Chain A
Amino acid sequence: MEAEKRHAGGRLAWTDHKFVGLAYCAASLFFMLVAFGLVLMMRWQLAWPGEPLPFFARIFDANHPSLPGGAMQPTFYNQLGALHGTIMIFLAVAPVLVGGFGSYLVPLMIGAPNLAFPRISLLGLLAFLVGGLIMLGSFFAEGGPAATGWTAYPPLSSIETTGQTLWLLGVSAVYLSSLALAINLIATIVQLRAPGMTFMRLPFFVWSELVTAFLLLLAFPPLAAAAVLQLTDRLRGSSFFLPDGLVISGQPLAVSGGGSALLWQHLFWFLAHPEVYVLILPALGMVAEIYANNTRKPLWGHRSMVYAAFFLGFMSMLVWAHHMFLTGMGSVMNAFFQTTTVIVSVPSIVIGTSLLLSLWGGSIRFTVPMLFALAFLPMFAIGGLTGMPLAFASTNIPLHDTYYVIGHFHYVVAPGTIFAIFAAIYFWFPKISGRRMNDLLGHLHFWPTLLFMNCIFMPMIFQGLAGVNRRMYDGGATYAHASEVLSLNRMATVGAFCLAVAQLPFIANFFYSLIAGKRVDQNPWEATTLEWAAPSPPLANGNFPDAIAVHRGPNEYSTGEGESDYVLQNAPGEATS
């Protein structure tokens, strides 16, 4: 016991998957906070256009060109928007799901001592941090950071200031990190499964990470290629994305011409659509584990969920041009991509329905992680169902580029994925720290967060239906058709600031529990997957004290075997699956 404790508390090597995972978590949660701060400034401007910003303005000096007298300039709004989107997606949500929880949990869940390529995982982490620093550093570049959205569409992006070059370099660094992660996770899952851990015995979370890793592996390289081409355009005077005869402020642009702005859109969305599945699949996986544990039942349709996830991953690479219905691709292309898009919704619905049915007839434990996981499902459903009108070219036309789209995808990623991330933090915190988070503070975090998330994003759906465009720095104040729904801007902004306040109990809980939370043993939730067969925290070197052999499926709850209502995957004996 003493020896075990010393081991468990021992120092993690730089190349240990737990160190890398925790570092990804810490860095991406920090980036999430930054991106949230950026959007709070934007929300202020949308609700009270031109009014001096409250406390944010103090960070900048009074004569700063972006904020003269504290009032936001249009370009600065664009820059905040671009960096909010970019940081949230590339530096916050995707890395916490894949680099953080993926690196930390996958080896544990399959009974492995580490990732397959520990040094490469450390190099990937470094690339990620470099990418993040470049992105944040671009705020100090001449002319400020990138201003053309997270989509970086040319021709605008090709003629932007230095910030755009830094954006491209930052995204390229993130690409290297995600490549390292994808290779590592796939190789780890295929090669390092403990004896007896067949593919169908893998927990659904591991499956979701496997499919996610394949998406990153296959879809990100074209964006890296596009970044190389745009860098060549910007630095070496080529014109891959610049057509002939461009005129800027009355002056013809001196480029060789012959390029196509649409080429960028194709290359970008070939990554960016699968990327949204990168943002949702691991979330579904984490929610699935938490459901099984808190309903004390196996997942309903584990096998069909696995097949659905695979089909989803495959199909997600064939839908990208549904973001381009308005580019005049022609009706044949539109018909093709709207059809694939409708098809890809089927596996999502299979997974969602399986999760819903998993709740049926369970004796649900309403723990804090379960509350977040439960709220995830309807929020994800709103996000998914509001996507249907966007899938069809004809209904997409009036909705494209409106706040309806902003509302739609935020429902997926903010109250959707972010809830899953919170659920996962509350759920795996005891494994990582050996202590539990406080329940009361957890409730104080959950309920207001649920309320205010909806205060922010529901209004956007209605504004979008009224025709309010996205990416407008005054929130539509100058448009007659927006006047009816303009007051909703203030509702969303008040909601956003209240949401910020609602995170205080979480932050307090997190640090308080790290130091003084209630100590737990290795399996406080009475769970079945292998991470709960390791000490809390797992051994610094090799995770498990004894060799692991797997004898059964991932969620053996209430099987009637033994006196407790759960059986760990490595428990010897007759397997029922």
Chain B
Amino acid sequence: MSIPWSVDRRPDTGHYNARLGMGLFLVADAMFMGALYSSLVFLRTAGETWSSAMEQVPAAGHVAALLLAIAAAVVLSMARRQAGVGPILASVVLGIAAVAVMTYDQAQLSAPDAGTAFAMVYVLNGVVRLHLLGGVAAALWFLLLNGRMRRDEPQHFINRLECLGMLAYFNAFAWLFSVAFIHLL
């Protein structure tokens, strides 16, 4: 028995199932990231020893990673239009590049036991990297294992790309807010 509205949009709600599901997942994820940002603000204002540690956190790498993450999201939304292999591949490369920059950056920084400020950067960086890696893994899965779907059920495949695009934009925003809270607060 097939499940209704798994590919087509239900007219009265305007969604196919996966799009709504992805939206709900991202709402939960926003609460997750939001809790981390709130913790940062709470500790920044309540703790006595936030220190000037943040001045040691290099902003250049963080911003570079941000640009790469945004580029990955934008390229994916191009892929969605034509279900093209090239743009998906490009988004994978951009995503991996962002992760690489963030990993390098983190390695330069003091460990989490050096202070709560460093620990916060460590957690935010790690969590966003995991998000990006999740997106890369999904893109690779669609590329390598969904060839038949791309040919025979193009709409289904395009839906998947749309959902992945939503995640990619979310990831870029998650890192954008992280960078803002880390460097501007």
Contact = CB atoms under 8 A, between A and B. Distances in A.
B42 A260 contact: yes
Given A217-B24, A238-B113, A240-B116, A258 B43 contact: yes
Contacts of B123: 228-229, 232, 238
Contact of A236 (B2, B50, B122): B122
A51 to B, nearest CB: 45
Interface string A159-187: 00000000000000000000100111011
Interface stretch (B26-34, B65-73, B131-139): B26-34
A260 B47 contact: yes
A186 B48 CA distance: 43
Nearest to A544: B1
Interface stretch (B15-23, B145-153, B154-162): B15-23
Contacts of A219: 31
A113 B4 CA distance: 9
B185 interface: no
Interface residues of A, number: 48
Contacts of A218: 27-28, 31
B10 interface: yes
A263 B119 contact: no
Contacts of A221: 28-29, 31-32, 34-35
Interface in A224-269: 224-226, 228-229, 232, 236-240, 243-244, 255-260, 262-263, 266-267
Interface string A445-481: 0000000000000000000000000000000000000
Contacts of A255: 113
A191 B17 contact: yes
Contact of B119 (A116, A182, A238): A238
Interface of B is mostly: helix
B35 A225 contact: yes
A344 to B, nearest CB: 20
Interface string B99-112: 00000000000011
Contacts of B51: 258
A244 B127 CA distance: 26
A8 to B, nearest CB: 14
B20 A191 contact: yes
Interface of A is mostly: helix
Contacts of A144: none
Contacts of A266: 42
A182 B10 contact: no
A49 interface: no
Given A117-B21, A190-B13, A236-B111, A224 B116 contact: no
A85 interface: no
Nearest to B15: A191
A232 B31 contact: no
A237 B112 contact: yes
A546 to B, nearest CB: 12
Contacts of A217: 24, 27-28, 31
B115 A258 contact: yes
A116 B3 contact: yes
Given A116-B3, A218-B27, A236-B119, A259 B35 contact: no
B133 to A, nearest CB: 16
A116 B17 contact: yes
Interface in A510-566: 541-542
**Most chain-B Cβ atoms within 10 A of its Cβ — which of A191, A218, A542?**
A191
B43 A240 contact: yes
A192 interface: yes
Given A114-B3, A190-B13, A258-B48, A225 B43 contact: no
Contact of B42 (A191, A243, A263, A541): A263
**Most chain-B Cβ atoms within 10 A of its Cβ — which of A192, A240, A541?**
A240
A342 B111 CA distance: 45
A237 B113 contact: yes
A240 B39 contact: yes
B183 to A, nearest CB: 19
A182 B28 contact: yes
B52 to A, nearest CB: 13
Contact of B13 (A191, A267, A270): A191
B20 A229 contact: no
A237 B42 CA distance: 20
B113 A236 contact: yes
Contacts of A398: none
A222 interface: yes
B36 interface: yes
Contacts of A143: none
B24 A258 contact: no
Nearest to B3: A114
Contacts of A257: 49, 116
A222 B39 CA distance: 10
Contacts of B113: 236-239, 255-256
Given A182-B24, A186-B24, A238-B116, A113 B29 contact: no
A118 interface: yes
B5 interface: yes
A465 to B, nearest CB: 35
Contact of A260 (B1, B46, B122): B46
Given A240-B39, A244-B49, A256-B115, A192 B122 contact: no
Given A191-B15, A225-B39, A239-B119, A259 B3 contact: no
A256 B116 contact: yes
B25 interface: yes
A107 B4 CA distance: 12
B4 A192 contact: yes
B60 interface: no
A266 B35 CA distance: 10
Given A187-B24, A217-B24, A258-B49, A117 B17 contact: yes
Contact of A190 (B6, B20, B50, B117): B20
B114 interface: yes
B3 A222 contact: no
B27 to A, nearest CB: 6
A179 B25 contact: yes
Contacts of A542: 1
Contacts of A232: 112, 119, 122-123
Nearest to A217: B28
Given A237-B111, A237-B112, A240-B116, A114 B28 contact: no
B100 to A, nearest CB: 22
Given A224-B32, A240-B43, A266-B42, 15 more contacts: A113-B2, A179-B28, A183-B25, A190-B15, A191-B4, A192-B3, A221-B29, A221-B32, A225-B32, A225-B33, A232-B112, A238-B113, A238-B122, A258-B47, A258-B50
Counting from the closest, the 6 A-B pairs by CB-CB distance are A237-B113, A542-B1, A238-B119, A222-B35, A221-B32, A225-B35
7 contacts: A114-B1, A116-B20, A187-B20, A224-B32, A226-B35, A256-B119, A262-B46
